[in-house]
Amino acid sequence: MIKENDFVEDRALRDQSVNHYEVLEKVKQILLIPDLQVITTNQVAEYYEVESSTVNKICQRYADELKSDGMHIEKMENFLKGQNVTFQKERNKVTLTYNNGIELLVTNRGTRVFPRRAILRVGMLLRDSTVAKEVRTQLLNIEEKTSDETKIQDINEEQRLMLNVGMAYASGNVDAMMKATTEYNAFQNRHITKLQNDNKALAGEILEWKDRDKLNAGVRKLAYVTGQHWSKIWNELYKNLQYKYGICLKQRGGQPYVQWIKESEWDKVIQTFSAMCEAYEQSPTEMFQQTVPVGTLASANK
């Protein structure tokens, strides 16, 4: 059973929940900078009622995650483009005042900003913030509701299939009996089938070294279904291999880095990619087997 503090420990859970940024407004009002629809580091700190230095530490430690959610440095000129802002320039900075009451101090170098997804991820990472804990509690409520709805759907589907079986046997039609029974058994075994297929991927049985092009196709597919650029998926794979197994492919030679994987390391590569698929709520076997529509992505052989 998922607990509130699990969000702090489990990136896969954070990735799974980061789109539910509607919980932010349920917990506390948040004023986004007009036109840009972001807030600054200081504003994030104010929202979660912590020191700015605490948010800065989160940004340093989890930079990759937050950047994937849109955290970036916004240039000064972009703050000045909106119609709802007045400003007063000084030597190396500008004081901005927006119609909704927000006041900002922006330097010539710009400032770090956070869209809603990044704001929510900070809340999933802050351990001691009361506001962040309430945000995580709201996320738990969503998880539990989703789980309950899934259970209800499964019950309804099982009842429908059982009724089909009963009607088929009552009719005496052998073909209908076989079809209804097959459908019911497939429904009952769906979780087992998925687990078996995914375990094959985790065990490295889907790919062999000579079939490494399939990994390239898997990366393209994962990038496509998650809306990510394929280079981000490759870089995430390389970083996970480095941090978890000490496999530093980028230090072995030039691109494509996949060519430097040793035979003895291949199972770890597949396990790592499969874990990434699970973190994005995608089946590893489906990523390897499905194809990307023509023209949607450039070649991902990196």
59 and 101 both lie in a single domain: yes
| pLDDT for the residue 174 | 80
Q: Is the pLDDT of residue 294 over 50?
A: no
User: Looking at 53-67, 123-137, 190-204, 230-244, which range is the least confident one?
Assistant: 190-204
Same domain, 166 and 282: no
| 155 and 273 inside one domain | no
Length of the chain (residues) = 302
179 within a domain of the structure (yes/no): yes
State the pLDDT confidence band at 292, using cuts at 50, 70 and 90. Answer: very low
Task: Report whether 123 contacts 135 (CB < 8 A).
Answer: yes
Average pLDDT in the 35-53 region?
A: 92
| In the chain, % of residues over pLDDT 90 | 18
Last residue of a domain, one of 90, 106, 137: 137
- Would the pLDDT of 204 be above 80? no
Model confidence at 241: pLDDT above 60? yes
Task: Give yes or no: residues 130 and 10 share one domain.
Answer: yes
Per-residue pLDDT at 176: 83
Asked if residue 64 belongs to a domain, the reply is: yes
Together in a domain, 190 and 227? no
Question: For the ranges 46-60, 160-174, 286-300, which has the lowest average pLDDT?
Answer: 286-300
Give the pLDDT confidence of 224-237 residue by residue, as tens digits: 888 778 888 898 88
pLDDT the model gives residue 96: 81
Q: Does residue 162 share a domain with residue 115?
A: no
Same domain, 133 and 32: yes
**Calpha distance 79→101 (Å, rounded):** 15
Structurally, the chain folds into a number of domains equal to: 3
Contact of 143 with 1, CB cutoff 8 Å:
no
Same domain assignment for residues 244 and 190: no
Per-residue pLDDT band at 114 (split at 50, 70, 90)? very high
Please report the pLDDT score of residue 94 as a whole number.
Answer: 81
204, part of any domain: no
Provide the pLDDT for residue 75: 85
Q: Is residue 240 part of a domain?
A: yes
Residue 47 maps to a domain: yes
pLDDT of residue 194: 57
Residue 295 domain flag: no
Residue 297 inside a domain? The answer is no
Residue-level pLDDT at 71: 92
Eight-class DSSP state of 32 = P
Domain final residue, candidates 118, 137, 156: 137
> Is residue 58 scored above 90 in pLDDT?
yes
Same domain for 71 and 126, yes or no, is: yes
Give the distance, in angstroms, between the CA of residue 254 and the centroid of all CA atoms in the same chain: 29
125 and 174 in a single domain? The answer is no
pLDDT the model gives residue 301? 43
Is 300 among the domain residues? no
**55 plus 132 within the same structural domain:** yes
Average pLDDT over residues 27-37: 86
Residue 233's domain comprises 209-289
Q: Are residues 63 and 111 in the same domain?
A: yes
> Which residue blocks in the chain are alpha helix, DSSP H?
6-9, 11-17, 23-27, 41-48, 52-61, 63-68, 76-79, 116-125, 130-171, 174-188, 190-202, 213-226, 230-245, 266-279, 284-289
